[in-house]
Amino acid sequence: MKIACLSFGILLLVVAWLVILPFGGRGSFTIHMIVHMSVVAGAAPLIAIALSGTRYDLTMRWSWFSPVVASLVELFAVWGWHLPSARAFAEASWFATALEQMTFFGAGTLLWLSCLGGALDGREGRRLAGTCGLLFTSMHMTLLGALLALSPRPLYGTAEVTCFGIPLGAGVDQQAGGVVMLLVGAIVYLAGGVVLLSSALEPGKASGGPA
């Protein structure tokens, strides 16, 4: 299963970064959000599942890096890169775009890994903390997605863009991107939090049974 998750996670990154981003319309905010969600809500959890419990599981060595800390890192990464000035910087060059995408991937993977991995000792407590971290992330992604979708004016320029070959006004493009974040990001993190909570409350595991 770990190999399948790793393979599919890497495939998602390849499609997002090498197909959708360069050929879908790099200037489109909707394309940006599709790629963003593919990375943090698709590839990141799959790769975290593959790395959890292995020697590449950084949270086994970083005991201080709790899901709550990881969720705050994710918060600053997501909101920081969606400031208008940061979006303009990310679109200015492929180097800046790569820096943005690696930030998303790093923050997303570490968040999921902090929730799913770590040492066996205290795994139940980590699951409960992971539930809080994922639900908090779902909440702030819901808020950001709603702000973007309901904003009365475009925040990232006024020029018409092309999304998968379809011309869109700046306002419509931003609204569509906000809806993508609402439908994908918020729901995936919410589902992850619910699954973690259910796992932590299973009778055999909650009482200290095998993980």
Q: Is residue 211 part of a domain?
A: no
7-11, long-range: CB < 8 A, 24+ apart: 8/46, 9/42, 9/43, 9/44, 9/45, 9/46, 9/47, 9/50, 10/43, 10/47
Domain of 149 in residue numbering reads as 2-55+63-206
Percent of the chain clearing pLDDT 90 (strictly above): 69
Specify the number of domains making up the chain.
1
For the chain, give the mean pLDDT: 88
pLDDT value, residue 21: 94
Is 14 a residue whose pLDDT tops 90?
yes
- DSSP E strands in the chain: the ranges are 161-163, 166-168
Q: Is residue 40 part of a domain?
A: yes
Q: Is residue 192 part of a domain?
A: yes
pLDDT value, residue 1: 85
Is 123 a residue whose pLDDT tops 70?
no
